[in-house]
Structure 1
Amino acid sequence: MPERPYTYYDFTLSLCPQCLRRVDAKIVFENNNVFMLKNCPDHGFHKVLIATDVEYYKNIRNYNKPSEMPLKFNTKTHYGCPYDCGLCQDHEQHSCLTVVEITDRCNLTCPTCYAMSSPHYGRHRTIAEVEHMFDIIVANEGTPDVVQISGGEPTVHPDFFEILDIAKAKPIKHLMINTNGIRIAKDKEFVRRLASYMPDFEIYLQFDSFKPEVLKTLRGQDLTDIRKKALEHLNEFNLSTTLVVTLQKSLNDDEIGSIIEYALKQPCVRGVTLQPTQIAGRLEHFDPATDRITMTDVRQKILDQTNIFQPNDLIPVPCNPDALVMGYALKLAGQVFPMTRYVDPAILLNNSRNTIVYEQDEQLHAHMLKIFSTGISVDRVDDNVKELLCCLPHIHAPGLSYDNLFRIIIMRFIDAWDFDVRAIKKSCVHIVHKDGRIIPFETMNMFYRDEKEEIVKRLQLENV
């Protein structure tokens, strides 16, 4: 009998990338690649590459754990995912990170922008609107894990520091500012004032490439000197920073290793987040057929382009394993010590908030002894258990602090091409809509921004 050229693995619901209607989708394996096969009655057949490592893709399912719910849901489930966002009662994950967009305005007009921001687009939110957004998050989360102030470019808001004061007065565990770094580079006193909000405060700094031509493609101009000066100021005040890389295949994916190595040399940098481009918003110079890069592609390039991490250092994040990869290390005395490989997945899945005391774990104990041999003072013991590793068990590590942490995160923001309803239901990065709903980052950019709301209203009517 004739055979299909692939092995059928699974079934899910996806979207037609043209009309955004829900369609059935097969997940199949072919030549060690994972594809999604789907057919729209109006727009035909689509074969979408979603992973380039079959074994890793299958292993993702081993990292599922019981969902952590918000304290309340905001909308009812009526039309079916993804047409009920708010968070709806059928959503499977609380907000690990919630984005508050305080302005639509930006001091750049990037050719790649999920929010369509520019110097003239939209408006600034009022202080009252922003505080209401914070209160909505607190009502849903109690003590939110991470709140990220974003835009647009948040540092152009005329009431920026007043908004920071309001945020710091709320019971938020960790506050971040998502920025292109222009104001940080040009105004050292601005950075000095930012540093006064530490601890539990971090800069999420756009850092896509060392190449002027790549920066012009992604950001519209060469920002090399801006990035260098911004990091100079951030290092001066040791202001905790994450470098954020928007990735496109054959554009800047060959720089992943060099960006990680550069980040490790910056005293203020706590990690690198790698984000494959989401097909949403403003996308110039981008062809979905050739420029998409998968999460497993990025993971493999980290392994190939650095000599630091092993495969078991870069693992799925249990809250949404289809969309997130994490790896943790400690920076000490000029050396890098990967840590994720020493965490038992059983502990990770059964109770991600367990505390590991390194003396009680043979492998970890040996590793920590090696760390202490670098000369770190073991007399400097902190009173509290150090919550060094987000999404991992807490590690009681005397003498270590957040300054010693280095994390790698791959964050796959799913779009209409690789949409998988199973992963969307577990999305844990959310945005507060201007009307008060809390919406997954992915569906916000596909359906719920300004004029796109008309699309979702039409699709809701079709699904009544």
Structure 2
Amino acid sequence: MPPQSAPPCPADTWSLCPVCLKRLPARRATHGDCVFLERTCPDHGHFRVPVWVGEPALSSWRRPKTPSPPNPGGETGRGCPYDCGLCAAHAQHTCTALVEVTGRCDLCCPVCFADSGHGASADPSLEALRRRLVALRLQAGACNLQLSGGEPTVRDDLPEIVAAAREARFAFVQLNTNGLRLAREHGYAARLARAGLASVFLQFDGSDAACAALRGRALLSEKLAAVEACARAGLGVVLVPTVARGVNEGELGAILALALSLAPGVRGVHFQPMAAFGRRPGKPGERGLHGPTLPETLRLLVAQSEGLLRAEHFHPPGCEHAMCSFSGTFLREGHGLKPLGDAAGGCCPEPSPQVPSALEGATASRAFTARQWAAPPPEPAPGLAADDFDRFLAQAGSSNRFSISCMAFQDAWTVDLERLRGCCIHVSQPDGGLIPFCALNIVSSTGRPLHREGGLP
């Protein structure tokens, strides 16, 4: 018998059975300072998982917006989350589109989201990717593009793929990578930059001990070499730590301090608490199955920042669902950080008397990401005219800007269909469809995917 609960907070929703992936009515129930996602499967029993722990309270962590379906005429059949494509029920436009250019990888991370490298199918051809990128640009509009995998750098034609993305009129192209080839191959980062790459989303979990636990071996020196190579090539870098309980949750402050020491080449840090995805679907009651929840990560970061950060420096998203992320934009001043408001270029405008549409939030987020995560502006050329120099000074303030953010992914244990319908990170499929990132990567506790190959019919 499940424990007695307070009324749902803030409303009832739908979820999945983590064993069979059947859609189930669910509720967010408050117990003390924790919010649990609760549901009962007639075949596999009751499931109760914490999704929000502590302050700031979920009831206060809201940024209202009006849903703006990107595909109001899309076909529906079995309902969310089975009809992704996107279906008519989806409420948010694409902020970032991911294209998985390979399933191969040169690591075998114990916590891989996508189970990359295990029986990977053949890579799509360059010509197939060209066609797909053109179709994606027409479908998703002027969104940001991330090339992902697998590990994209195992493809020798990656510079040509980057160039194809720019030819398809994607203004901001980012590479999601473990950084190993960037570190070891002289001139590789420069080749990617010449092809049109703007930013590197670099897997970066902290110490060698953390890397060994999460990636299978010590990698810190190679990660730092990758950052150095990108800085020389003029590529902006975002450090992306996976945060795992008992592994590196005590290293958030150290990762932040290191990132600041590597600025302006490093443009920010984007924390990602552990999710039960891909290679690690998890079992009921397994210790460390999930990383800290969003508010727990925020409090850990503040506590470890040596006074640089306060909780009020961060805000809920204006694009995706409020339970999915937090972010803050700062100005580096000496050894300190000054929080920046909207006038200085923050990603999400302050709430106004008129509730904005989801599309407005997506548009603002796209622009901010492209502006902040790209490389800082170059130094002025000698003999620059006075008016040009004034313009340079106005732009150069961006080189001292630094973003800190966190994205809490959903898996089969924590998936909330209200959140899923607000997702703005969509993965391009070979058939032209778009699937929300979390939906694509959901696997049951028995390892059965929801959408990837071998998933539900």
CA deviations 1:199-219 (Å, max 9, x no partner) are: x71001010121x33212211
| Cα shift at 1:221 | 1.3
Q: Is the partner of 1:400 in helix, strand or coil?
A: helix
Partner Cα distance (1:448, 1:108) in 2: 23
Q: For the Cα contact (< 8 Å) 1:147–1:176, is it kept in 2?
A: yes
Give the letter for the 2:238 counterpart: T
Give the letter for the 1:311 counterpart: A
Q: For the Cα contact (< 8 Å) 1:67–1:319, is it kept in 2?
A: no
2:64 is aligned to 64
Unmatched 5+ stretches in structure 1: 355-376, 384-396, 458-464
Q: Is the partner of 2:120 in helix, strand or coil?
A: coil
Q: For the Cα contact (< 8 Å) 1:98–1:431, is it kept in 2?
A: yes
Partner Cα distance (1:127, 1:221) in 2: 32
1:234 is aligned to 230
Alignment match of 2:351 (pick from 343, 346, 351): 346
Partner Cα distance (1:450, 1:83) in 2: 14
Partner Cα distance (2:303, 2:18) in 1: 32
Provide the alpha-carbon RMSD of the alignment: 2.7
Q: For the Cα contact (< 8 Å) 2:136–2:432, is it kept in 1?
A: no
* Residues 73-112 of structure 1 mapped to structure 2, 5 A cutoff: 75-112=74-111
Q: Is the partner of 2:251 in helix, strand or coil?
A: helix
Alignment match of 2:275 (pick from 272, 278, 303): 278
Partner Cα distance (2:229, 2:80) in 1: 44
Give the letter for the 1:382 counterpart: R
Q: For the Cα contact (< 8 Å) 1:76–1:89, is it kept in 2?
A: yes
| Cα shift at 1:382 | 3.5
CA deviations 1:377-433 (Å, max 9, x no partner) are: 9984439xxxxxxxxxxxxx9343542221112111111111111100001111012
| Cα shift at 1:234 | 2.1
Q: For the Cα contact (< 8 Å) 1:75–1:84, is it kept in 2?
A: no
| Cα shift at 1:309 | 2.1
CA deviations 1:46-70 (Å, max 9, x no partner) are: 111001126431123x302123443
Call closer, same or farther: CA 1:220–1:417 in 2, change over 3 Å: same
Partner Cα distance (2:73, 2:261) in 1: 44
Partner Cα distance (1:402, 1:222) in 2: 33
Residue 429, structure 1, aligned to residue 435, structure 2: no
* Residues 193-232 of structure 1 mapped to structure 2, 5 A cutoff: 193-197=191-195, 201-210=198-207, 212-232=208-228
Partner Cα distance (1:134, 1:288) in 2: 42
| Cα shift at 1:349 | 5.5
Q: Is the partner of 1:19 in helix, strand or coil?
A: coil
Alignment match of 2:391 (pick from 382, 386, 399): 382
How many aligned residue pairs are there?
Answer: 412
Alignment match of 2:454 (pick from 438, 441, 451): 451
Partner Cα distance (1:378, 1:208) in 2: 44
Q: For the Cα contact (< 8 Å) 1:33–1:54, is it kept in 2?
A: no
Call closer, same or farther: CA 1:217–1:77 in 2, change over 3 Å: same
Q: Is the partner of 2:396 in helix, strand or coil?
A: coil
| Cα shift at 1:123 | 2.1
Call closer, same or farther: CA 1:287–1:330 in 2, change over 3 Å: farther
2:254 is aligned to 258
Call closer, same or farther: CA 1:408–1:286 in 2, change over 3 Å: farther
Call closer, same or farther: CA 1:140–1:69 in 2, change over 3 Å: farther
* TM-score, scaled relative to structure 1: 0.82
Unmatched 5+ stretches in structure 2: 365-385, 443-449
* TM-score, scaled relative to structure 2: 0.83
Q: For the Cα contact (< 8 Å) 2:72–2:89, is it kept in 1?
A: no
CA deviations 1:44-99 (Å, max 9, x no partner) are: 11111001126431123x302123443x5684122111010001111001110110
Residue 243, structure 1, aligned to residue 239, structure 2: yes
Q: For the Cα contact (< 8 Å) 1:73–1:140, is it kept in 2?
A: no
2:37 is aligned to 36
Call closer, same or farther: CA 1:380–1:36 in 2, change over 3 Å: same
Call closer, same or farther: CA 1:79–1:345 in 2, change over 3 Å: same
